[in-house]
Every structure is written in C-alpha cells, then in structure tokens.
A = this chain, B = another copy of it.
C-alpha cells in the first residue's frame, strides 16, 4: 500500500500522546484488537518502545484512552443534516428520543469498531467509574432527569439504563470484521440449528426461540430493549404532567422482595 509515503510523512510530525492514541484506534480498526501491540505501534510511528512509554503510562491506559476517544465521538450529538433548515420542522427532541439517540450512537460505534465491544466491557469491569463509564452515564443521565424521574431515583434509573446499554452493545459484536449479510445469515442459521439440537430437558426455552432468533435484527431488538426499559421507568416514575393519572406501581414495589 501507500505505507512508505505515509510513514515518512508521519515521521515529520512530533510524537504526542494524541497521535499515539489516534494511531492505536487506526490499528484497532484495521487490524483488530490482537494486533495492537507496542511493537506494531512503534513500527507504524517509526519509533521505539521508549518513545511510546514516554507519552503513555502503559498499554491498558492507552486502550482506555482509545476507547474513551471513540465513545466521546459516538455520544457527541450529531449535527445530522446541516443542509436542513435549522429549527424548522424539527420539534424539540423528547427525553426518550435523546436516550435512544445516545443508545444508538453507542450501538453504531460498536458495529463500526469491532474491537469496541470487548473494550467497553473491559473498561467497565476494570474501572467501573473510569472516564468511559462516566461519559456514558452523563449522556444517559441528562435525559433521565428531563424525564421527570424523582431526584432520589436518578442514580438508580440511570444505572439501569446504562447497564442495559452496555450488556446489549457488548453482545452485539463481531469479533473480527463486520460480517456480510450472507455470512450473518449463515451464522444465525447454524446457531439456530444448533439450538434446536440441544437437550429438550436442559434447554426447552432456548430450543423454543431458536426459530425467531434466526430472523432477528440486532439493531431493532436493541431499540426494543431500550423502549422496554423506558416503559419501566415511566411506569414506575410517571411524569407529573397535569391530567396524568399516576398509576400506583403496586406489585413490583421495593418491599416485595424475596425473603432469601
């Protein structure tokens, strides 16, 4: 490829933390998570390991920074169609729409960057309140507030949404490059078949859904899940709009927990 011209042009730039992170993301996108090594970085940046370690503390810090950078742009409100007349027919987005937009931003980022799902999971478990989590929390929390959820429930409600998002986006991953439509269909087909051959005593439910999982669309199902959680939120914490009947959430209240 155009490696030679690229590399020499590169070398003219100074080595900065930002450029290392940027290169890491490129490497992750093009060659996959396993191929991001210090040696790969040094050769792409035409430098030595010492130079890398001068700017970044260690490999996992770099991974965190790369993940944070990608998540930041994924959650940034897109300016969408700048050609469209601003503020014309565009009704103000509802809090639900904002939550869906943030959720989709994350979802689409994971499909664009196949390595992201695993990294989100790693970041989330290794450093539960690190920059990545905080960023997601903020994007989800603001609309939760606007939803009219009582202040005492902000943390719990936002957590629930964030946890759902992270679970859902991390499962929606292609390890390697994104699959073609045909490959995806083939994959789902074999999986579905395998499920149908599971032991009926051990896996009755999985067998029963084998058929419908074959035809499912990840993105659509993701949104269905978001809406389900949103329904839970607005049912438990109905907006205090005038005329709203405020249905009492009897059965699933806090107190009704299992004894043991």
Using a CB–CB cutoff of 8 Å, the interface residues on chain A facing chain B are 80, 93, 96-97, 100-101, 104, 117-118, 121-122, 124-126, 128-129, 133-134, 137-138, 141-142, 144-145, 151-152, 154-160, 162-168, 170-173, 175, 191, 195, 198, 202-206, 208-209, 212-213, 216, 221, 223-225, 227-236, 247, 249, 251-254, 257-258, 260
Distance of A118 Cα from B142 Cα, bound (Å): 28
How far apart are A89's CB and chain B's nearest CB, in angstroms? Answer: 11
How far apart are A164's CB and chain B's nearest CB, in angstroms? Answer: 5
Task: Select A152's contact among B156, B175, B212, B252, beta carbons within 8 Å.
Answer: B212
**Contact between chains at B170 and A224 (CB < 8 Å):** no
In this complex, what residue of B is CB-closest to A81? B260
Distance of A248 Cα from B214 Cα, bound (Å): 29
Q: A125-B170, A126-B118 are in contact. Are A142 and B232 (CB under 8 A)?
A: no
Chain B residues with CB under 8 A of A235: 231-232, 235
Distance of A224 Cα from B149 Cα, bound (Å): 14
**Contact between chains at B160 and A229 (CB < 8 Å):** yes
Distance of A236 Cα from B232 Cα, bound (Å): 9
